[in-house]
Structure 1
C-alpha cells in the first residue's frame, strides 16, 4: 500500500542563460519504493515531455525497486538487460567494449554497478574494482597526460541498446541511474578537439545528455527529409565488432581505419536478428521526432529511394554531419551528480555520454538499470512526409 501523502511536482530544470537547453526536470513528492499508479502516470508523462528526470535523496531505493520502476515504463518487456549478450563464446564476448565497465548485482541481474575505484563490498559483490571509462582507451587521439585531471572529453555518445537480437532486444525505453557514492569538488573542461574550439565546463564525472528532438529540430529542411526517410542498419554484435576501432575526439562515432572485427570472427550471426531502425524515433506522448542514432554501431544506411550506402566511411560521415550540431556546448546538459540522485532518462529521445577522468583514489559508485524494449521504437508517420 502506498505510504506517500504528497503530490508529485515536476519543475523544469534551470539552465544557464544563453544555452539552447529545453529539456530536463526535477521531480519531488514521489516515493519510488511505494509508487502509486497515479504518481507513475505523472512520472511517465513528465519523462516523455522532459526526457530527463532528476529525483533527489533516493539513496534508500533498493535494486529491486529500481528495476521495478524501470520495467514499469515498458511492462510487457522481458526482464533482460538492455545491452544484451554478445554471443556464447566467452573469449569473443569478453572483447566487447562494454565488458570491463559493468558488474552485475547477483540478486538483481538487470541492475549493473558502474563507477571507479575499489569497493570492498556492495549488494552481494565483494572486492570489486570499478573502472571509469577513459577516452584514452577508446579515442584515436588523447589529451596530454599533464592535462588529465583538468581536461576531459565525451567518452562515447550513445543510446543504451544491444542493437542486435531482433525485436527481443529492442532498445530500452528508459535507463535509470542511481548515484551511491560521488567524488566531489573538482570541475573539468570538456574539450571537443575537432578544430572548432568548442569546450564545456563540466562537474567531475558528469553524465552528459543531449536531446534527440533538438538534434532533429535544428537540421535544415533537406536534412530533416533525408533523416525521416532513412533507416540505419546496425552491425551484428556491434560492441565486439568495434572492439578495436577508435572514436572521434568528440566521442560522436568512429574514425574509419578498417579496425572493425571481420564478420567471420564474430559470434554466429543470425540475419533475422540484425536491426534496421529508423533514423527518427517518434515520441509516444508528444508525437515529436527525435534523431536517434547510435553513431558508433552503424554499418549501412538504407535510403528512402531504395538505395543503400554500403561504404562504412561514407555512412559515418553522413551521420556525423547530421548529429554534430546537436552536441554543441549549448545543447549539452551536464548533470552535476550528488549522492542519492536518481536520474530517469528517455533512452529513445536522448543520447548520453560518460565524461571525466578520475584519480585512482577517487571512488565513484553508481547503479544502472535498463531492460530490452518489448517492441521497436515508433518511426515517422505518413503525414511526416507531406511537405506543407
Structure 2
C-alpha cells in the first residue's frame, strides 16, 4: 500500500512520524481526521486502516478523546471478524490464572473496563473517582522495573533514570494465537520531566524519553540486519514455546536492556506449571511474513522459547536445542543488533491518541517512571488471530513424532 493511500482513499491526513538526524527507523505514521467511534460501521475504512497498520507497522491515530471503550473493542473485532471474540490473553479469569509474569498482582495490575472487559485498563497512579465505572482505583504496580534481574537502584530511578521494561510481542504463546494488531489508547500520561533510559549493559547506550511512552523496534529490520547464513537458518527453523509460558518464567529476571532473560536456572519444572494440554503448546516459524507487503520479520519471543529446531534447508534434519542458555546465546547476537537508539521509535502519543501496531512485525516495551511524575491511564485491546504465525511463515512446520 503506498505511503498515503489511506489518505487518498478516505480523505485523511497520513504523515510519517518525523525522524531525527541519524535515526534509522523505517516505520511509523500518524493519521488525522479519522473518528474511530464511527469507523467500525464502514468495511472500507476498516480494511484501509488494517492495510495501513500492516504497511507502516506503527500507526498513531490522533484526536480520539471521545472514543468509547466498547467502540475500541468493536474496531478490534472488525480487524479480524473470524477470530474468537475475546482478548488474545483470554478473559480476565483466564488471564489472572494463567498470566503468570504478566498478571501477578505483586508486579502488575490489569483491570477490565466494565461493559467492555476485553479492553484492559493498564496504567500507574490514581485513575480517577469514576473511570468508566472503576471507582477510586490507584495502581501502584503498573509499569515496573521489577522485571530486571539486576534492579535499578531506587535513588537513580527517582532521579529520572529508567530502563526498557520488557521487550516483547503481545502473544499468549499457548492455546490462542497472538493478535495481528494491538491497540493502545492514551487517556492520560505525564509529559515531564524527561527520563533517561539506560541499557545498563556493556554498551553504555542511553536515550531520552518523555514518561509514559511505549518504545518500538521493527523485527523486519532485525531480519534485514542478519547475515546470509543467519537468514538461511531462520527461514527454515522453528521455535517451541513452553506450556503456560508466563508461568514457566514467573520467577525469572530480565536483562538490564529489557531484551531476554538472565540464565539463572529459575524456570519452573513442567510439573509445576499447572494443568496444560500438549495440543495447546505453540510451535511457530522463526520468520513471519507480512501478508500485505511480503516483508519478513525475525519474530522469536526468546523469553518463552523452550526448544529451537534449527536447520538451513527444508530437507535438512533439524538440530534441537533444548537448553535455555544455548537458546539465549543463539538469539542474543541476532536480536541485540537492532537494540540501538537509532532503530528505536518512541512515538509522542498525546492524551486522546491511540497507537496501533502490527504485532507480527514489532517488539515493544513500556518505560517505567516514578509515580510522583503523575498518573498514566491506557486502554489496551487486541484479539487472538484467526490465522496465526504457523500459517504466516515460509514453510509448514513438520511433525517429528
Give the TM-score normalised by structure 2: 0.88
Indicate which of 29, 35, 43 corresponds to 1:31: 35
Q: Where does structure 1 lack aligned partners over 5 or more consecutive residues?
A: 383-388
> 2: CA distance between counterparts of 1:94 and 1:360?
28
The one of 201, 211, 219 equivalent to 1:204 is 211
Q: State the distance in 1 between where 2:255 and 2:133 align.
A: 37
Provide the residue aligned with 1:160 in structure 2: 170
- CA separation in 1, counterparts of 2:202 and 2:95? 41
Q: Tell me which residue corresponds to 2:113.
A: 105
Q: In structure 2, what is the Cα distance between the partners aligned to 1:296 and 1:151?
A: 24
Conserved 8 A contact 1:162-1:171: yes
Cα RMSD (Å) of the superposition?
A: 2.0
Shift of the alpha carbon at 1:295? 2.0
Q: For 1:223 and 1:163, how far apart are their aligned partners in 2?
A: 24
**Match status 1:323 vs 2:329:** no
CA contact (8 A) 2:286 2:298 kept: yes
After alignment, is 92-101 or 250-259 more displaced? Answer: 92-101
Verify the 8 A CA contact 1:117 1:361 in the aligned structure 2. Answer: no
Q: Which residue number in structure 2 is paired with residue 262 of structure 1?
A: 269
Measure how far apart 1:6 and its partner are.
6.4
Deviation at 1:223, TM superposition (A): 1.1
Tell me how many residue pairs correspond in the alignment. Answer: 373
CA change 1:41–1:89 in 2 (3 A) is closer
The equivalent residue for 1:219 is 226
**C-alpha separation in 2, matches of 1:163 and 1:22:** 27
**Distance between the aligned counterparts of 2:22 and 2:359, measured in 1?**
26
CA shift for structure 1 position 287: 0.8
Corresponding position of 1:332: 344
For residues 219 and 229 of structure 1, the distance between their equivalents in structure 2, rounded to whole angstroms, comes to 14
User: Which among 340, 343, 348 is matched to residue 360 of structure 2?
Assistant: 348
Contact 1:116 1:358 in 2 (8 A): no
Deviations 1:48-101 (A, max 9, x none): 1100001111010111110111122211111121123799797x6474433333
Residue 306 (structure 2) aligned to one of 299, 308, 320: 299
CA shift in 2, pair 1:369/1:199, >3 Å: same
Q: Secondary structure at the match of 2:117?
A: coil
CA distance in 2, matches of 1:220, 1:7: 42
Counterpart of 1:17 in structure 2 is 21
The CA deviation at 1:129 is 2.5
Q: Which 10-residue stretch deviates more, 197-206 or 107-116? A: 197-206
> Residue 128 of structure 1: which of 116, 122, 137 is its match?
137
Q: Which runs of no fewer than 5 residues in structure 2 stay unpaired?
A: 1-8, 312-316, 396-401
Give 1:10 shift. Answer: 1.9
State the shift of 1:172 in Å: 0.4
* CA distance 1:368–1:236, change in 2 (3 Å): same
Give, in angstroms, the shift of residue 191 of structure 1.
Answer: 0.8
Alignment of 1:1-388 (within 5 A): 7-35=11-39, 36-84=42-90, 93=98, 95-99=100-104, 100-119=108-127, 120-130=129-139, 131-135=141-145, 137-149=146-158, 150-165=160-175, 169-304=176-311, 305-360=317-372, 362-377=374-389, 378-381=391-394
Deviation at residue 361 of structure 1 after TM alignment: 6.2
Deviation at 1:158, TM superposition (A): 0.5
The Cα shift of 1:284 comes to 0.5
The residue number in structure 2 matching 1:386 is none
Instruction: Please state how far the C-alpha of 1:234 moved relative to its aligned partner.
Output: 0.9
